[in-house]
């Protein structure tokens, strides 16, 4: 029987008891390492989400397959109706007729309508009129999806591959760097860093929201180093490198911003595990004068140099 403590409800809606070392709550790509089981199919699926999120090649495969299958279906209907009720069908064998019906269907569903083939009797006309209506609606959807995919905002923020523990004023700080590689301007950028630490005396985990030197910037034109000062009130206070590894620390980062190009709010998530932290290293300063302004070499985001900790 579980005690009350194991049912502590915490800030992230994640497990507080997954004590095995090496468990990562948030994957590097920003997805959560949680499986939902026994979700009824209709509650689980989200067709729009799937179609907007899948890769472009897969998306085009879905479109092309749908186009092919729908034309197969309507070609079969025209065969049932009888291709003698279409003008311009020249095929003798059923296969030839089916192929011609297939392409007539394609001309109908795209509302191309060359007219070298055209419906003659009532049944053929009904099939063709239905198909053209369906075609317009389906292409409407495909259109919306194309645009939805193309205009989908996404925070393209890039994280330094490692975090560092470096001197900060007269104490030390936990630091990582983010860059905005695109031309999109990100405004009112807010960052939240949570630390998940296993307790030293049990298999339970605690979550701590870390205080940051600065948790919001008005503009984010290029690069930002996010700093958590390890002062007396920090959960990292007095912890050594081996403590942090032993207690299987995970730093969960969420960045929220307004993307001016898309006029929408975007989120970016990432995490650093204990072994992804470099102790006693500091990020290299990258801003350089360039003509009338300054320039930043984005490719050097991960560069650090050794430095003695306070």
Per CB under 8 A, which of residues 74..133 are in contact with its own copies?
A: 87, 99, 103, 106-108, 110-116, 118-119, 122, 125, 128-129, 132-133
Site for its own copies in 231-290 (CB under 8 A): 254, 256, 258, 260-267, 269, 282-285, 287, 289-290
**Distance from C-alpha of 7 to C-alpha of 106, rounded to nearest angstrom:** 59
**In sequence order, what DSSP letters do the residues of 38-67 get, joined into one string?**
S--HHHH--HHHHHHHS-HHHHHHHHHHHH
Q: Checking phi first, is residue 198 left (phi over 0); if not, alpha (psi -120 to 50) or beta?
A: beta
> Which one of the spans 12-20, 73-81, 228-236, 241-249 is the region binding its own copies (CB under 8 A)?
12-20
Does position 18 bind its own copies by CB under 8 A? Answer: yes
Residue 69 vs 284, nearer CB to its own copies: 284
Q: Which is nearer to its own copies, 10 or 243 (CB)?
A: 10
Cα separation, 227 vs 221, in Å, equals 18
Nearer to its own copies, 32 or 243 (CB): 32
CB of 84 to its own copies, least distance (A): 15
Residue of 62, 167, 204, 243 that binds its own copies (CB under 8 A) = 167
Yes or no: say if 190 and 219 are a contact pair by the CB < 8 Å rule: no
3-state SS class at 111: coil
Instruction: Please report whether residue 200 would count as binding its own copies according to CB under 8 A.
Output: no
Q: How far apart are CA 155 and CA 270, in angstroms?
A: 12
Closer to its own copies at the Cβ: 249 or 266?
Answer: 266
Q: How far is the CB of 183 from its own copies (least distance, A)?
A: 6
Token pair listed for 297: 């070499």
Helix (H) or strand (E) holding 187: strand 186-198
Among the residue ranges 43-51, 77-85, 197-205, 243-251, the one whose residues contact its own copies (CB under 8 A): 43-51
Closest to its own copies by CB, 161 vs 287, is 287
According to the binding rule CB under 8 A, does residue 136 interact with its own copies? yes
Q: Does 38 bind its own copies (CB under 8 A)?
A: yes
36 binds its own copies (CB under 8 A): yes
Nearer of residues 245 and 296 to its own copies, judged by Cβ: 296
| Strand 250-259 versus strand 163-168 pairing type | unpaired
Measured distance CA(306)–CA(309) in Å, rounded: 9
Contacts of 80 (CB under 8 A, 6+ apart): none
């Amino acid at each position: 029987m579980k005690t009350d403590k194991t049912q502590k409800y915490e800030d992230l809606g994640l497990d507080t008891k997954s004590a095995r070392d090496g468990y990562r709550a948030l994957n590097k790509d920003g997805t959560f390492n949680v499986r939902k089981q026994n979700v009824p199919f209709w509650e689980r699926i989200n067709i729009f989400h799937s179609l907007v999120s899948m890769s472009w090649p897969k998306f085009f495969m879905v479109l092309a397959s749908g186009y092919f299958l729908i034309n197969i279906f309507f070609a079969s209907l025209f065969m049932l109706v009888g291709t003698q009720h279409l003008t311009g069908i020249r095929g003798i064998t059923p296969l030839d007729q089916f192929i011609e019906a297939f392409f007539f269907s394609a001309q109908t569903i795209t509302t191309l309508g060359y007219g070298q083939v055209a419906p003659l009797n009532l049944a053929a006309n009904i099939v063709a009129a239905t198909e053209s209506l369906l075609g317009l609606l389906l292409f409407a959807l495909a259109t919306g999806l194309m645009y939805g995919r193309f205009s989908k905002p996404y925070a393209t923020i890039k994280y330094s591959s490692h975090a560092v523990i470096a001197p900060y004023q007269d104490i030390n700080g936990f630091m990582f760097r983010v860059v905005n590689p695109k031309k999109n301007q990100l405004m009112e950028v807010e960052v939240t860093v949570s630390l998940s630490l296993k307790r030293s005396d049990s298999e339970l985990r605690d979550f701590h929201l870390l205080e940051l030197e600065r948790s919001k910037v008005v503009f984010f034109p290029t690069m930002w180093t996010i700093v958590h000062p390890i002062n007396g009130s920090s959960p990292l206070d007095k912890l050594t490198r081996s403590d942090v590894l032993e207690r299987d620390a995970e730093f969960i980062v969420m960045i929220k911003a307004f993307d001016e190009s898309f006029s929408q709010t975007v989120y970016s998530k990432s995490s650093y595990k204990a072994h992804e932290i470099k102790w006693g290293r500091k990020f290299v300063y990258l801003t350089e004068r360039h003509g009338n302004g300054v320039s930043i070499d984005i490719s050097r985001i991960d560069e650090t140099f050794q430095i003695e900790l306070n």
